[in-house]
Structures are given as structure tokens and as C-alpha cells.
């Protein structure tokens, strides 16, 4: 790790050595018995991770955007109404993809750092018959955490299929598809799942699969069409050889290792650890006098933090200064406030040491930029929080 910066962006993240070892192992054939076992087990574990006991898991070679693309391609048809609960950059992207497949997307927006209220969403649901309602669980552009449980209840009540973008949440935030009535959810490997970039993971409920199987028009994407992938997923889970497209063999071996670690830790324990690491980071940021993009603590994500730059400090100066102190952070992404904030990722295998090193590097960067504060106050606040248990 010498001469290497600690990667603390909202994905890719730092990866566990056992996961990297699986990624770097000699590649087997995609029909080898060892691979069929690993892929089958990974599919079973994916279902458990998403808390959807009878759901259909898919693991595809691609990014989080492929997850978006495939749920939109398979669950909407031209002319369908779609309601997008928009909390930032990735709500915009979801709308764009829905419209590419012919849906009519209606966006319910709020100011950066906020999210639409349940009352706002219910009022919108009353205006039309919506085939789907999409929710970004954590928008990586703002660090806003939405109330998936409450929103999903509304969507189901008004007959919409509920789709959740869990790219920056799954394996770090609680997402219980069965209990909350979510019909499709997806994530990407490089976030809290803890695997290098290259896999899209999604689970579709029985209700979602029924909607897909009874659609009247063909899916308008060949690669994303579940008609092609469903036999593959079913065969691998049954440990039987099949072929449609060559899977990402080493990434799936690595995924199975990471999913095993996640389930061994336990979902409740893992969610609690993410909350604890998040609160330690935010305690440090607050002690340094920095605001945050989310408007209050209740809607702030636990997988990332989005601090605002203090007066007189610019991102073009601060981010490189933090990097020189040994930690890589990300700048802003939301178009309206891009130059007002930066982003810290703290998910997956993140440790207390990572949190303290990150806050120390932020303090160093702020000092280099001429910001006046009591030296060590940020790290001290985090230590105090962590020591309190």
C-alpha cells in the first residue's frame, strides 16, 4: 500500500484482499464445474442480499447503468407512463432511459439536497395510471437517502411496479424487497457490494417477472432482454451448463467471495456498521464547520457524505491537496451545485482507520488551502463518536 492513495470515493471503493485474489486467479472456462458452482451460489446469495426470497436474480457483465437499462427495457413499453422520484443526476438518467424505450416519464423533483414528500408523490400518482415508479435509494450526486419503504407502499397502492436504483445503497443501506413491496432493484459491483467494476446485479420480484412475461410488445434491447438471460440464470443456479454470452468469469468468482463475506458479517450488522462509519465521518465534517448537501441528518446517506466547501476554498484547490495528503476524494456531480461540494465514499470494507485517515487528509487539505480551524478537531470528533460505541 506504500505510495498509494486511499480510495474514498463513492465507487470504486477499496476492495478486500480475498476478493482481489479471486479476481486475479487463473481464468476457468465459463462452463467449468467450479465456475458453475460459484455462479450458482452467487445468484442465490444475491437473492438473499436483496431480501427477496422468491425473486429472480440476474448478474450481468456491465455497469450500474446496465441495471437501469435492463429494468427499463423489460418493464416498460412504448406509451407507458413512468413516474420518476428524482433526487439528482441519476434520476435524470433513469428518465432518459425510460424515454428511450418509449415511456412517458413524469419527474417529481426537489431542490438539490432534498427529496419529494410522500404527499407530493401521492398527488402525482393520482394524475395518471403509471406502469412503473422509480426511486433512487441513494443518489450519488447528492448523498440524499430516500424513504423507499414509504414510497414503495404508495406506488403499490396505486398499481405501479416499483423500481429501485440501489447502485449506491445495496449492501450498505437496508433494502428489503419483500417486506417493502419492491418489484425490481439493481446495483453495481464496485460500490458497497465490494467487487471491482464490471457487474450489474439485479433482482426482480414475482410480480415484476409476471409483468415482463405478459408484456405484449418485444423488448427493444437485445442485450438487456431477460428472454435471453433468464435461461442462463436458471441454468447456472441449477449448476447446469448453458450459453448465451460469455460471463465475466473472474468477476463472478470475486463476487461470490464478497457476497460470502457480506452474509457472514450479517445484513443487520453490516447496515449498522455503515451507519456507524457514516456518523463518524459526518461528526468530523460538522466539527470542521462544513455543511452538507442533504438538508438534514434523516435524509443523509450512510454509504457516502457530501460536504460543502467552506467559504474561500475551492474544489480545484482542496481535492488535489487532500490527494497529496494520501486520500482520493471526488468532486461534485450535480449540475446545479457541482462547484459547491465534494464527495466521500465510505462503504463496503471501510474501517475506522480509513475514516480517521480520510478526515486527517481533509484537515491537511483545508489547512493548505488557508481555511482556519482548530487542528485535529475533525478527527477528534470522529474518535469521540467511535469510542462512545
Find the helix or strand (DSSP H, E) in which 199 lies. strand 199-204
Q: What is the pLDDT of residue 44?
A: 98
Is the same domain home to 308 and 189? no
Q: Give the whole-angstrom CA distance, residue 171 versus residue 175.
A: 8
Is the same domain home to 163 and 243? yes
Last residue of a domain, one of 218, 247, 265: 265
Is the same domain home to 304 and 239? no
Is the same domain home to 285 and 258? no
Is residue 237's pLDDT more than 60?
A: yes
What whole-number percentage of the chain has pLDDT above 70?
99
Last residue of a domain, one of 265, 299, 315: 265
For the entire predicted model, the pTM comes to: 0.97
Is the same domain home to 112 and 223? yes
Q: Give the whole-angstrom CA distance, residue 3 versus residue 1.
A: 6
Is the same domain home to 292 and 318? yes
3-class DSSP state for residue 101?
Answer: coil
Is the same domain home to 213 and 273? no
Residue 42 belongs to domain spanning: 17-265
Last residue of a domain, one of 265, 284, 311: 265
Question: Average of pLDDT values for 201-225?
Answer: 98
What are 166's three cell numbers? 440501489
Helical packing angle, 33-49 and 249-265, nearest 10°: 40
Q: What is the pLDDT of residue 4?
A: 83
Q: Where are the beta strands (DSSP E) in 97-182?
A: 104-108, 132-136, 138-139, 144-145, 161-165
The count of domains in the chain is: 2
CATH code, domain carrying 259: 3.40.640.10
Is the same domain home to 117 and 235? yes
**Quick check: is 84 in a domain?**
yes
**Quick check: is 1 in a domain?**
no
Is the same domain home to 27 and 63? yes
Is the same domain home to 169 and 31? yes
Amino acid at each position: 500500500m506504500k505510495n498509494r492513495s486511499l480510495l474514498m470515493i463513492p465507487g470504486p471503493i477499496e476492495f478486500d484482499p480475498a476478493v482481489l485474489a479471486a479476481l486475479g486467479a487463473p481464468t476457468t472456462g465459463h462452463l467449468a464445474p467450479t465456475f458453475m458452482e460459484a455462479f450458482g451460489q452467487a445468484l442465490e446469495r444475491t437473492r438473499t442480499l436483496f431480501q427477496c426470497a422468491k425473486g429472480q436474480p440476474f448478474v450481468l457483465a456491465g455497469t450500474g447503468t446496465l441495471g437501469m437499462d435492463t429494468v427499463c427495457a423489460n418493464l416498460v413499453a412504448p406509451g407507458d407512463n413512468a413516474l420518476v422520484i428524482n433526487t439528482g443526476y441519476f434520476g435524470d438518467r433513469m428518465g432518459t432511459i425510460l424515454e428511450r424505450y418509449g415511456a412517458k416519464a413524469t419527474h417529481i423533483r426537489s431542490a438539490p439536497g432534498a427529496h419529494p414528500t410522500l404527499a407530493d408523490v401521492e398527488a402525482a400518482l393520482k394524475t395518471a395510471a403509471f406502469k412503473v415508479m422509480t426511486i433512487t435509494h441513494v443518489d450519488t450526486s447528492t448523498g440524499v437517502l430516500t424513504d423507499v419503504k414509504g414510497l414503495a407502499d404508495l406506488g403499490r397502492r396505486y398499481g405501479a411496479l416499483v423500481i429501485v436504483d440501489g447502485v449506491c445503497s445495496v449492501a450498505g443501506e437496508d433494502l428489503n424487497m419483500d417486506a417493502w413491496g419492491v418489484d425490481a432493484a439493481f446495483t453495481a459491483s464496485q460500490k458497497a457490494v465490494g467487487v471491482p467494476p464490471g457487474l450489474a446485479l439485479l433482482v426482480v420480484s414475482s410480480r415484476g417477472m409476471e409483468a415482463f412475461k405478459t408484456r405484449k410488445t418485444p423488448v427493444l434491447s437485445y442485450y438487456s432482454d431477460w428472454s435471453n438471460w433468464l435461461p442462463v440464470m436458471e441454468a447456472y443456479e441449477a449448476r447446469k451448463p448453458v450459453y448465451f454470452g460469455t460471463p465475466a468469469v473472474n468477476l463472478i468468482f470475486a463476487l461470490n467471495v464478497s457476497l460470502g463475506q457480506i452474509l457472514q458479517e450479517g445484513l443487520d450488522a453490516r447496515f449498522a456498521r455503515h451507519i456507524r462509519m457514516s456518523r463518524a465521518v459526518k461528526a468530523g465534517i460538522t466539527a470542521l464547520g462544513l455543511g452538507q448537501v442533504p438538508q438534514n441528518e434523516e435524509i443523509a446517506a450512510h454509504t457516502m457524505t457530501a460536504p460543502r466547501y467552506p467559504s474561500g476554498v475551492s474544489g480545484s484547490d482542496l481535492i488535489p491537496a487532500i490527494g497529496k495528503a494520501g486520500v482520493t476524494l471526488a468532486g461534485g456531480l450535480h449540475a446545479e451545485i457541482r462547484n459547491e461540494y465534494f464527495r466521500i465514499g465510505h462503504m463496503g470494507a471501510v474501517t475506522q482507520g480509513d475514516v480517521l485517515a480520510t478526515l486527517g487528509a481533509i484537515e491537511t487539505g483545508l489547512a493548505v488551502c488557508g481555511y482556519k480551524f482548530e487542528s485535529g478537531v475533525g478527527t477528534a470528533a470522529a474518535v469521540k463518536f467511535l469510542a462512545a460505541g
